[in-house]
Amino acid sequence: TIFLDEVGDMSLVMQSKLLRVLQEKEIEKIGRTHNISINVRVVAATNRSLEQMVQQGTFRSDLYYRLNVVTITIPPLREREDDIGLLAHHFLVQNNEKYGKTLRLSLEFLQFLHSYNWPGNIRELQNCIEYAVIMCPENELRIDHLPSHMNKSFAIEGMKPGAKKPSDIVSLRENQQKTERILIEGALAACNNNKSEAMKKIGISRRTFYRKLREYGYMDSK
């Protein structure tokens, strides 16, 4: 399996060569006189509209239809709020190991991550976690460890981290569930996924804690 990222940025010349590879199932290595047969599965990704590029003549229609056998649309990070805390913890573990630190995520940091719009999607989240790990001289990541362009977003329309505009107000129950999820994520992250320590940190019983874990999809319902 080969993965072609940002295939929409490929030049027309390279598109022609890729189409030949997919059609003929063979490649021509530099310095070789005979082509080499291949058996590969191609996974391609792009954040551009290939249909529109085909209409504009910047992407070959034959290559588009050759690639577009099965399409999987991945929503932007701002539409996958349940993934934010999990990804943040994953990147924190990576960067703790990379920079020799043992940092944890503070609740205010997690609350901001959930309120931010993420125009740069997962790459921006990965970048901001690494930046915060480098800049943090303490034991946990806080808002003031974020990149400056993210800190400036606090001042937009006088909003504070986690604040919502009137049009975004949700029911009390929905708001409570969101807060509970953030608390659970923060506690698990701070305790390195030690559930016993996490439930003590939150201050709830074991029965309630595990019920919440099942309710919010952090463990199997069995």
Does residue 133 contact residue 96 with C-beta atoms inside 8 Å?
yes
Helices (H), the chain: 12-24, 50-56, 61-67, 81-99, 107-115, 121-135, 148-151, 172-190, 195-202, 206-215
What pLDDT, on a 0 to 100 scale, did the predictor assign at position 57? 94
Q: Is the dihedral of CA 64, 78, 188, 206 positive or negative?
A: negative
Q: Which residue has the tokens 């249909």?
A: 51
pLDDT at 71: 92
Please say whether the beta carbons of 15 and 7 come within 8 A: no
Q: How far apart are the first and last CA of the chain?
A: 35
**How far is C-alpha 155 from the chain's CA centre?**
25
Residues of the chain with pLDDT under 50: 155-170, 221-222
Nearest residue to 140 via CA among 190, 78, 87: 190
- Please tell me the distance from the alpha carbon of residue 108 to that of residue 112, in angstroms, as a whole number: 6
Query: How far apart are the C-alpha atoms of 129 and 95, rounded to whole Å?
Result: 8
Per-residue pLDDT at 172: 52
Q: Which amino acid is at 91?
A: F
